[in-house]
Chains A and B, each alone.
Chain A
Amino acid sequence: MAVVPMKKMSLLGLADDKIRILSRLMEIGVVEINDLAIEESLDYLFDKDVNDNEISDIVGKITSCERAIKIIAPYDNRKKPLFSVRTELSVHDYREVVFKRHEVLAKCRKIMSLQDEIVSKKNAINRNHNNIDNLKPWTPLQIPVDTTTTTKTNIYHGTFPIIADLNELISDIDEQKLLCELYIVNEDSDQYYVTAIMYKDDEKAILQNLKRNGFSIINFSQHKDMIEDNIKNIHKDNEKLQDIIDNKEKELKQFSISLHNIEVVFDYYSIRKQMELADEEIVKSKRVFMLEGWVPADKAEILSEELHEKWSVDISLRDPLDEEEFPVLLSNGFIGDSTEGITAMYATPKCREVDPNTIMAPFFIMFFGLMLSDAGYGLVMAIACGILYYRIPLEEITKKFIKLMMLSGVATIFWGALFGSWFGNFIPLIFLGDGTIDISIWFDPIRDPEYLLMWSLLFGVIHVFVGLAMRGANFVKQKKYLAILFDVVSWYVFFLGATFVVMPMVPGVPANIAAIFSPYGGTLLIIGAITLLLTQGRSKKGIAGKIVGGLSSLYDLVTFMSDVLSYSRLLAMGLATSVIATIINDMGSMGGWTIIGTIAFILIFAFGHSFNFAINALGAYVHSSRLQYIEFFNKFYEGGGKPFAPFKRQTKYVKIKN
């Protein structure tokens, strides 16, 4: 349980070996390279590369690989695992693909151009569809659409809004002795589609009349002959376009076998980019280069030996200076490292802080179990996550999370068995014939919620006290021994006193136990309060400041009480799960044990418990996290360290085996 100690490594090597040394460091992946500044006095000797051009070139290639992967991924028929993992690849196979990288990039370009063509053809089809929509209302038109004039007349096509009164318009035109014929070709809910044939000499006056009523002329100049033929032609055109698209898609599909190679090349260029970026942080002269970085202390010696052996380098290792921040790498045992993700979501510990994970993990797991508290659900969770954990290859972060869920599942079985809840009252209902029989090992919280409330609050007190102990551990690490007495022990006395004082008032606490402790409560409370009054203001300036500081610390009693009360959620969440599980069983068994009734039971059981499990597992997870973040961490945890990010091959698709 700890933050891994780090050593600072300074490496001086020959410029000729630079690339090889960097590649080797990347392969081992245990050094975090720092951006090294050039001392002013050495300005004339040393210099730093700026690789902007190379990097932008590489980024371009990465982008085209990325686009190509996105395009052909849907055509890939390989089975996709539930959790995506990087495929393992031997160095030999990797090199083989990398050797062909220009070929692969050409394929990417081809894929992209195919996709562009498909997109443009699809756009053309869309345009055609719009065109058809525009032409369709005109299908009843009996003359060729490109006939706009005869010897004596001109022909116009256009639309009137549906509110236009065409009869009145026609009689208007007649009254003015203008020669015009209006044919209503079609109408829909918005407009009339009208063909107007007019005597050439009257054209101007007629058009004026028409336009006054909202006539808007439609130009069919792109089309010839009958409307129907036009529509048919467009359909034919669309079919042709679709054929082209189908062909191109077939071509694309054939590229899907290259997907793997493109992914490898993508990773190759990602690695190249990381190399170039690392190279920018290194200081170099004509003949030598210098790099500086953090190495975990236990790996430092081996690394330096290996580098010494292979190249002529000068390596110096030193411990971090007193105030120097170093990157944080955590190391915990089997149970402890399962909550590293939970802690990281809050904050990474500072480099000189106690890593809370090993202490926190059992609490997280126990609280999770207490809140889900159904052995049936726990069994499902533990088995499912166990199979995932031990049988399926997973990435590191996912694996830790799955492990946490597996352990939480086991804790859920533990609590569920204690409370006698196996898928609610499934066991007594089916096997004992009466759902109300109590099969709990310890007690059934539905029958005696107050008793569990007392235990929940007790767990809360323990958790908070452990949090205070962690504060003490931090002080030990910082060698502030007096602070342990003032800032830890005095709180213990104070809180313990408070706990004893309230004990008789908490429902569920046996009177004889309360009677043992409660007489001491007052004394402890007063001793604690006096110590706090005298010490908590010690960092403040002036007498007044010290007094106010001391007094305001007493207010933390309220915080402590509300912290502890907050653990009542352990009871509430746990009860919610088991009560709903019981309701599901009762509802399912309402139909009796006929065939239909049994089928109904199975369906309700499967659906109901899945839902209950999902919603309560989520609840248990977030509430268990919250108890760590708010109630536990605020007692001691600072956070804000920089996670250790070693220079290594960061790949997305393949994992290169050395």
Chain B
Amino acid sequence: MFGDYIVSNNLGDLFAFLGAAVAFLFAGIGSAKGVSIAGEAGSGVVAEDSDKFVPVMILEALPSTQGIYGFVIAFMIFSKIGGLDLSQGLFLLAAGLPMGFVGMFSGIYQGRVAAAAIGIVAKRSQDMVKGIILTLMVELFAIFAILVSILMIGKV
């Protein structure tokens, strides 16, 4: 009887939706916060020297990838939705978690590193690449998160 309830009310799909929501929600928050941290630091540098706009912009854009990854995961979960049973729905909810949470924290922390790297650009713009590399170190974990999420979705 409970099984009928689940199927007739599409609870599987509901959990899958939750998974998609979690993936984008938190990853998006992380990116928004990260980009804003870097952007605030960057605006100060550009105010002093507008020639540094491009390197600052590149560094500022780096923490935006978490949001994009979250978007990708949300979309991949969407494409699975339609008559899922409860266990599949819960699987997809679980699959959204790594991207959501790792995305949020890595986005924020990457934003902080990016802001510090903008400090490098402010002093020595020729060392921008070193700043980018330091910032990308944080990115690796967001990449692992999207991978784990993708592989989990692939199993449903």
Interface, chain A (partner B; CB < 8 A)? 345-346, 446, 449-450, 453, 507, 565-566, 568-569, 571-573, 575-576, 579-580, 583, 615, 618-619, 622-623, 625-626, 629-630
- Are A622 and B150 CB-contacts (below 8 A) given A576-B72, A615-B64? no
- Are A449 and B151 CB-contacts (below 8 A) given A346-B129, A623-B136? yes
Bound together, the chains give a CA A630 to CA B133 distance in angstroms of 8
Q: Is the CB of A568 within 8 A of B143?
A: yes
Which of B132, B140, B150, B154 counts the most chain A CB atoms within 10 A?
B150
- Nearest opposing residue in chain B for A621, CB measure: B58
Q: Is the CB of A619 within 8 A of B65?
A: yes
> Hey, which chain A residues are within 8 Å of B143, CB to CB?
568-569, 572-573
Contact with A along B125-147 (1 / 0, CB 8 A): 00011001100100110011011
Distance from B35 Cβ to chain A, minimum over Cβ atoms (Å)? 12
Bound together, the chains give a CA A186 to CA B144 distance in angstroms of 69
Contact with A along B88-132 (1 / 0, CB 8 A): 000000000000000000000000000000000000000011001
Bound together, the chains give a CA A155 to CA B58 distance in angstroms of 65
Question: Would you call B7 an interface residue if the criterion is a C-beta within 8 Å of the partner chain's C-beta atoms?
Answer: no
Bound together, the chains give a CA A9 to CA B59 distance in angstroms of 44
- Size bracket, chain B contacts: 20 to 34
> Hey, which chain A residues are within 8 Å of B64, CB to CB?
615
Q: Is the CB of A626 within 8 A of B76?
A: no
How many pairs of residues, A versus B, come closer than 8 Å at their CB atoms?
65
Bound together, the chains give a CA A449 to CA B143 distance in angstroms of 14
Bound together, the chains give a CA A592 to CA B43 distance in angstroms of 42
From the candidates B61, B128, B150, name the one contacting A575 in the complex (CB within 8 A).
B150
Q: Is the CB of B65 within 8 A of A580?
A: no
- Are A449 and B150 CB-contacts (below 8 A) given A346-B129, A629-B133? yes
- Besides A580-B72, A629-B129, 14 more A-B contacts (Cβ < 8 Å) are A345-B128, A345-B129, A450-B151, A565-B144, A569-B139, A569-B140, A571-B147, A572-B150, A576-B69, A579-B72, A579-B75, A580-B75, A618-B58, A623-B136
> Hey, which chain A residues are within 8 Å of B72, CB to CB?
575-576, 579-580
Bound together, the chains give a CA A571 to CA B72 distance in angstroms of 13
Distance from A15 Cβ to chain B, minimum over Cβ atoms (Å)? 39
- Are A572 and B154 CB-contacts (below 8 A) given A453-B147, A630-B133? no
Bound together, the chains give a CA A189 to CA B107 distance in angstroms of 46
> Hey, which chain A residues are within 8 Å of B139, CB to CB?
569, 623
Bound together, the chains give a CA A449 to CA B132 distance in angstroms of 28
- Nearest opposing residue in chain A for B73, CB measure: A579
Q: List 24 A-B contacts (CB under 8 A).
A: A345-B128, A345-B129, A453-B151, A568-B144, A568-B147, A569-B140, A571-B147, A572-B69, A575-B146, A575-B150, A579-B76, A580-B68, A580-B75, A583-B75, A615-B64, A615-B68, A618-B61, A622-B62, A623-B136, A623-B139, A625-B129, A626-B132, A629-B129, A629-B133
Question: Would you call B26 an interface residue if the criterion is a C-beta within 8 Å of the partner chain's C-beta atoms?
Answer: no
> Hey, which chain A residues are within 8 Å of B133, CB to CB?
626, 629-630
> Hey, which chain B residues are within 8 Å of A345, CB to CB?
128-129
> Hey, which chain B residues are within 8 Å of A580, CB to CB?
68, 71-72, 75
> Hey, which chain A residues are within 8 Å of B69, CB to CB?
572, 576
Bound together, the chains give a CA A569 to CA B71 distance in angstroms of 16
From the candidates A453, A573, A583, A622, name the one contacting B132 in the complex (CB within 8 A).
A622
Q: Is the CB of A622 within 8 A of B75?
A: no
